[in-house]
Each structure stands twice: as C-alpha cells, then as structure tokens.
Amino acid sequence: MESSTETSDAPDGRRMLAIYLRDHYGGSTAGLALVQRCRRANSGTPWDTGLAPIEAEIDEDRQTLESIMRSLGVEPSLVKSALAALGERVTRLKSNGRLIGYSPLSRLIELETLGAGIAAKRKLWRTLRHVSEVDASQVEQLIERATSQLERVLELHDQAAQATFGHRNAEISGVV
C-alpha cells in the first residue's frame, strides 16, 4: 500500500511537474517585467537603487529556472509567458488615486505584488527540493537568495508605505 505522499503514476507526476515549472516560468516573466517597470517609474530614487540588485537576481533566477527546466526536458511555454506578461500589463489599469500616471500608491502596490511573486518563487525552489534530478545545494542557495530578496522588498515596501501614508497617527482623508 502506497503512502499518500508517493506518486502512484510517475508519468503523471512528470506531466504535473512540467505544468508547474511552466507556470512558474510564466510568473518569472511577469515578475521581471514588474520589477523593471517599478525601477523605471522610480528612476533616481532610493527604490530604484534598492531594486537594481533585486532585478538582476530575478533575471538570473529566471535563467536558472529555464536551465533547470531544460535539464528536466521541459520547455518553457511561450503562451504562458505571453499571458503572464499581458497580465502584468493589465495590472497597470488598477486605480492608484490619479486619473493618469504613476502615484505613490502605484509603487506600494507594485512592491506588494513583487513580494508575493518572490514568495511564490521561494516556494518553487522549496518544491524542487523533492525532485531528485535537481542539484540540492543549488536549490538551497536559491531559497536563501529568494529569502533575502523578499526581506529587501519588504523593507522597500515599508519605506513606500511611510512615504505614501505618512506617520502612523496621521489623519486619513475620506478617499475610497
């Protein structure tokens, strides 16, 4: 009798892994576009400076994921990557308190979204611990880097929240 954690159908498990990896690769496409957009919109600010190394790491992580996928015989899905990039663009339509243009709320929401993406990427790396063909020491390094990225993005988010909303006890206007 198999335990509930074992895969009873290895080919089905491999198919699910391919789907999972393609989904995360698509997400990495959107994440890279998001961090690039956030940096452009905040050029010359502390957020630009703080995001620059994170952007480089996200790009490297995306390339690493693609390499891992290829080593497992999984090709990235152009459709999923295109849909993820489109989804990232659609999020720009979110209300930010201004009729047109970028606002401090835009920055805050972008950093929240980027943090969520990095947290998901960290879960991907943790999941790959269970794939025997993936280098365990490489995965541990990727987990550590994602943890560091998340901590840095959360710090930038805190700074953005302070810049957006001011002091903790400041009066909040009736904006809905």
**pLDDT by residue (tens digit) across 106-148?**
899 999 999 999 999 999 999 999 999 999 999 999 999 999 9
Angle, CA of 113, 161 and 37, to the nearest 5° = 40
Instruction: Read off the pLDDT of each residue in 46-52 and give the average, rounded to a whole number.
Output: 96
Spell out the domains of the chain, with CATH numbers in brackets. 12-165 (1.20.1260.10)
Task: Tell me which of 169 and 125 has the higher pLDDT.
Answer: 125
Model confidence pLDDT, tens digit, residues 52-81 = 999 999 999 999 999 999 999 998 767 666
Instruction: Read off the pLDDT of each residue in 82-111 and give the average, rounded to a whole number.
Output: 67
C-alpha of 26 from chain center: 10
Task: Tell me which of 170 and 91 has the higher pLDDT.
Answer: 91
Enter the pTM of the model: 0.81
Q: State residue 108's pLDDT score.
A: 93
* Closest C-alpha among 44, 47, 53 to residue 163: 47
- The answer to whether 30 touches 99, Cβ cutoff 8 Å, is no
